Amino acid sequence: MTIYLDGKFVSEDEAKVSVFDHGLLYGDGVFEGIRLYSGKIFRLEQHLNRLFASAKAIMLQIPMTKPALTEACCDTCARNKLSDGYIRLVVTRGVGYLGLNPFKCKNPTVFIIASTIELYPEDVYRKGLNLITAGTIRNSPAAMSPAIKSLNYLNNILAKIEAVNAGTVEALMLNADGYVAECTGDNVFVVRDGKLQTPPISAGSLNGITRGVVMELAAKLGVAVTEPNLTRYDVMTADECFLTGTAAEIVPVATLDGRPIGSGKPGVLTLKLTGEFRKLTRSEGTAIARG
């Protein structure tokens, strides 16, 4: 595997960062997970816009322009001979001293990994995912804005541990007010009376790229989408439920805490949106081939 690291392409064995990098020491940095379909990078511009917005929010100066990052992402995919895959684009604060002061880090680190990914087994997409409700509360938006896609995922990891210990792979996370925020790595949608509902960003959910795509597709299908505060009860009593994320795509949910949601199988609207999503992702994007 070939990795892009600070302007150079290196082998997997050569791709190393310093133990003094603040991304490692303090989780100080931002990232994007991006998908490649049929030789085209899906919604790359949106991902880069979010990356730069996240960096600006934490006063991290990305040492590359958006066109340069676009070229680096395309080149990394091409060098790894990928047609379909997953890109992890990371910008850390860079090497500094022991201590939190970010302004002592002079040169941010940029690296890009392009590989394949399978977040959930294919069986989950056919039968639906079993969720639990995590006891770990989602970080307060007042403490850490969910709009910042940072390297610090410990809050999500604690909830993921609960899910794995409970015999599943994903958990629903509530905020301090008891409203649904998101899952450990994906946004949440429910279907009720033919309409879509998803938690607002203010509840503690990431403004996901795939979340936005699903809302666009729903509008084209004439399906109303609202963003109310949702409770665990609203999820349990929904007609359908599914998760969205760049790596996960659209994942149907079968149960929450052992309770079937709807029929306990992927619902009609979930399957319809999945089909439309797959058509869209195979038809648009930034081509990795260079002329």
On the question of pLDDT at 40 being above 90, the answer is yes
How high is the pLDDT of residue 290? 53
pLDDT of the residue at 118: 82
What is the residue-averaged pLDDT of the chain? 95
Active site residue 149: yes
What whole-number percentage of the chain has pLDDT above 70?
A: 99
Average pLDDT of span 231-245: 97
- Domains, in order of start, for the chain: 2-115 (3.30.470.10), 122-281 (3.20.10.10)
Residues 192-219, mean pLDDT to the nearest whole number: 96
Catalytic residue among 149, 220, 265, 272: 149
pTM over cut 0.75: yes
Does residue 233 carry a pLDDT above 50? yes
- Asked if 284 and 262 touch (Cβ cutoff 8 Å), the reply is no
Render 257-278 in DSSP notation, one character per residue.
Answer: TTEEPTTSS--HHHHHHHHHHH
**Residue 234: pLDDT over 90:** yes
The more confidently predicted of residues 142 and 57 is: 57
Q: Is 176 helix (H, G, I), strand (E, B) or coil?
A: coil
- The pair of structure tokens assigned to 120 is 């959930």
pLDDT at 204: 94
The one-letter amino acid at 29: G
Q: What is the phi/psi pair of residue 160, to 5°?
A: -65, -40
pLDDT score recorded for residue 291: 44
